[in-house]
A and B are shown apart, each in its own frame.
Chain A
């Protein structure tokens, strides 16, 4: 059970009809079974019927579930430029992929399994697993994603960097200044929605940069127990980004994150600089830009809330 490649009769490049149902039970006999742990954030009963592969690589594939809605229908507005449908996306990840909180995760790494499937392929799933062309992914247990704990308010918040964003990356600097604006508006008691609308879904890719910056902010705010209106704004605007990104944003609003991100935010809120730095180096390696964007969002938010968290005596000195 340790090492299984795609069975020879179905290759990742083959047309979708190869994955048609009907022969499922027959094929299930010959297909390898890959044990997987399903996130506790997803109810098993929504996992039935069909799903469409929206993205894929050796370390993971992303399934958009038919009929499973992430965003309540009444909150769904106009489709955003990034093209969200409000459907739930389930990442299916190898052990060496970043542990997204919404994912089903295998215990095997990409050296032993190849999760690549053609984008657009329709696959069948049920509460006990998923039938991929190359294997049956069987849910053998639930895993609990890492969650940023509510950290008691401490006077020492360690801002990981100056919140000026990244001087080299002008796009990130723009995103950070938008986030700072949203926080300022929100902390002043006004509605940050219009500013958040300019951030959400902004940038290319499955998880646009604007969303990563926002996710960093949401995690810090969750940990600090503050909400200057960002959570509501994100929920209302989640349809304006990709379905995958929307699901990750909503998870971030509840404090769920990959373990290294959680470690960074938690340590920063506790003022534990060495631990925050160590985790930061790990987060930096995420994805193409996701890691640096998340960190920029965290940093800007930590700086913005520092005066709020400081005790009154301390605040007056600022």
Chain B
């Protein structure tokens, strides 16, 4: 025996797909056991139960491939089968469609916006489902929430958000819907017509759909609302939205609500709404003393004046009246217990409601009475009804409508149990269900009858239509040939089973004898008036156009939709790491967030940036002697990196505060001077970003928001202070800039300015710059603005010539204006309560820090990464310092690495290739709030650059902002060693999210 347990990191697949893989591999010859699953706690338990030893380091995001095979050969074949099956799952990840194709959408919001989806289907695990659903609601799409394990609190909050956004949430745990003839999840193919269905029950809705279809009555839409919607807590929130949508739909004339008995208060509210909408509402509510679903449908049909047909039924020859000895088998034995084995929860419930008054107590895994609740192996003497679709039986396996194996096993068990008198089963056909469920069930029935050694009648409620993919007629034939009695009506099937047990049951469901419950057929005289019905907006729009769908989770849904000619966008969803889940759910549910982020983006894109002056830092920033500014988040001397220390030393020397580098270093280490981030004074500085009082600063102004920002003058390339160089030539250049360049630039700006920097940024993106590491066009355009004033400035011709030469020789001359322009944009977006938009990204060479609009001035930091890219001369990776500089403000403002597609030539400088540049920009749309209105990317059809990094999207997708940057030498004084690409550490965003979560007010 060969046993292998293989661990694959970061290979996520949804559980249904993996179950299919497991099943396929287990069926390989020579394989005794196989399980392919994500290493969740539950799955590890299952694997351990199967006798496999799972490595202790396995985490929930790891894929475990466990195989026990006869020999080496079989093991190899099984491994190959796993690879094949996994490759098949990946096929959905469509290959690149050309040069730098856009990546698959990673969030539902992105998919909705890209594909103009009106509806999303969420089937990711429950812990993540609410987050996905919020995203879709925020993007303006209605949601079918297939996932279960959603708390009532989350359900209420989500439905509140949906009502505010005028969309519908179907679910949670909604398995069945039919929108405009499109089946979502488990739904039957029924004729189109004028009856709308609102369903708080999946298989209940399917029973009603199939009965109506058999009666020749068509259905317009079937909208699920989730099993708890009509309870006192949820208050029919989705039912109301669904009714509003149906009222606005031209084709719908009446509505049937399928549900457990609703809360009476809620019932009244829903009825009042229906009256306001002019909508005729009928209730098919399943409960003790209420008509069963078949009776409710019959009542509805009679109310419409339609004929009630004889429901399809095939009765097997073994029926009691056909047998002279009262149904006993040849050996005279026969059990007297009813054993109901169901896939559909509502059908199981209905069977018990019909049978209990006749049989007495029935034990069940879904019994409402604790005394009757079955647990453990679900065996008990007497009458038993089991719902195999219940949560407790679907953990770690697919729903029995897809994977019937558990129920098939139980049928064999019941066959061997002499007390089992009748087997009552259901079989639900339609989209989403097993492609040939009747074949397997018929075989199981045949074998059960053969091994029983007694007369074992089998009754099946076969819920399906002629148009279902599985063909109801063929299924009925197969089951009847196996010796089962087959009914379309579950209630009729149950009554037949009771009769087989020798109980006297009225064969008719006798709806007339059942007093109509409150609400039944009450609205017959009320006919909808289109005048009020069609004037609504919002959720009323859901049903006005053919559905366009986005899906997140099980790919089965997307496949089913494609087969129905529905446009589908599939999200490449991956689970959020454990520690991010709770804060993410809280922040996503923050009702302030959507508006706050929209506002942040609007302000960011509306911010102006005008160069109004050039001023010494002393005046501009009120920088006192002995005070220095630096790039990034706060840093101590002890933790400062080489280039940061070098720049601080250089600034001290430049200010004449020390006579030698050694003395400067001693003073700095001793705390003689103080320093703080440029950002704390609304300024920015590239690389080390060190600013001292005598240095001159550009002053930029945003009149729209009343903000001012500053940045130092660019020193040129090579050995410069910002890269940590502090040699005599560096200091000398700084003096020249202070004495000559600064005053001349001031004259120019004052004489011919102010200059619109934002306009230059917009133009340079169309000229091959991205504004961070490529500033050629921008520098030339800036020079064009400055030159007239420079040339006519009051100064010596040689000084003017030197200033012009210096400015023109530096292709990054413009960077020091682009940065404060972006700073102004992010300042405008800062400080909005509830906003999860990043307003600062900055590095000090040791730490990477971010600040977020909704969390004020707090920094969230993590260790800075070292850029990867190309090196100058003989320098190599070992020479590079970790990421440094405030220049990531460009990416924060929507340019730089985010606009890489605008500057394909950048790849020669930072590494990578042209398709990479295009893909990089397109990937950033997955984590940004929106697009810039002024900064555009020509090659993407002048699409606005991705702008406004959203912390929640970064955490959800794991996509980190792409930053283009220069690389400083690790050793102080080295200067620039290269340029490349870098990302922030994920920890910054995790911390920011946790802090944002703490600001979310508790729901009132």
Measuring CB to CB, which residues of chain A are less than 8 angstroms from any residue of chain B?
1-3, 35-37, 95-96, 99, 105-109, 111-112, 140-147, 149-152, 259, 262-263, 267, 270, 272, 275
Contacts and interface: CB of A to CB of B under 8 A. Distances in A.
B798 interface: no
B181 A142 contact: yes
Nearest to A255: B250
A105 B562 contact: no
Contact of A106 (B92, B181, B534, B565): B565
A287 to B, nearest CB: 16
Nearest to B180: A144
B821 interface: no
Interface in B71-111: 91-92, 94, 97
B885 to A, nearest CB: 39
Contact of A109 (B531, B534, B567): B567
A32 B644 CA distance: 63
Contacts of B682: none
20 contacts: A1-B559, A2-B92, A35-B563, A37-B564, A95-B548, A140-B564, A142-B181, A142-B192, A143-B181, A143-B546, A144-B181, A144-B251, A144-B546, A147-B250, A149-B530, A149-B534, A150-B530, A262-B545, A263-B541, A267-B537
B640 interface: no
B251 A105 contact: no
Contacts of B182: 141
Nearest to A149: B534
Contacts of A1: 559, 562-563
A312 to B, nearest CB: 20
Contacts, number: 83
A38 to B, nearest CB: 9
Contacts of B564: 35, 37, 107, 140-141
Nearest to A282: B116
B181 A259 contact: no
Interface of B: 91-92, 94, 97, 180-182, 192, 248, 250-251, 530-531, 534-535, 537, 541, 544-546, 548, 559, 561-568
Given A140-B565, A141-B182, 9 more contacts: A35-B564, A37-B181, A95-B567, A107-B561, A108-B567, A142-B181, A146-B544, A146-B545, A152-B535
A151 B531 CA distance: 7
Given A1-B563, A95-B567, A262 B544 contact: yes
B537 A275 contact: yes
B561 A259 contact: no
B865 to A, nearest CB: 35
A272 B97 CA distance: 40
A5 to B, nearest CB: 12
A121 B537 CA distance: 44
Contacts of A108: 562, 567
Nearest to A148: B544
A35 B181 contact: no
Closest 7 pairs (CB-CB, A-B)? A95-B567, A259-B545, A35-B565, A107-B565, A37-B565, A143-B546, A149-B534
A35 to B, nearest CB: 4
B229 to A, nearest CB: 26
DSSP majority for the B interface?
A: loop
Contact of A272 (B537, B545, B568): B537
B118 to A, nearest CB: 9
Contacts of A150: 530, 534
Nearest to A272: B537
Contacts of B92: 2
Given A143-B181, A146-B544, A262-B544, A270 B562 contact: no
B568 A107 contact: yes
B97 A111 contact: yes
A136 to B, nearest CB: 13
Contacts of A151: 534-535
Contacts of A36: 565
Contact of B94 (A3, A106, A145, A146): A3
A295 to B, nearest CB: 19
Contacts of B537: 267, 270, 272, 275
Contacts of A146: 544-546
Given A107-B568, A262-B544, A143 B562 contact: no
A158 to B, nearest CB: 14
Contacts of A263: 541
Contacts of A3: 94
Contacts of B568: 107
A99 B546 contact: yes
A147 to B, nearest CB: 7
Contacts of A111: 97
A226 to B, nearest CB: 16
Contacts of A35: 562-565
B565 A149 contact: no
Contact of B562 (A96, A99, A107): A107
Nearest to A96: B567
Given A105-B565, A262-B545, A143 B534 contact: no
B531 A152 contact: yes
Candidate in B544, B548, B564 with the most chain A CB atoms within 10 angstroms: B544
A270 B546 contact: no
B591 to A, nearest CB: 21
B269 to A, nearest CB: 26
Nearest to A1: B562
A69 B545 CA distance: 27
A144 B193 CA distance: 12
A149 B568 CA distance: 27
Nearest to A142: B181
Nearest to B220: A144
A119 to B, nearest CB: 25
B452 to A, nearest CB: 43
B396 to A, nearest CB: 29
A231 B51 CA distance: 76
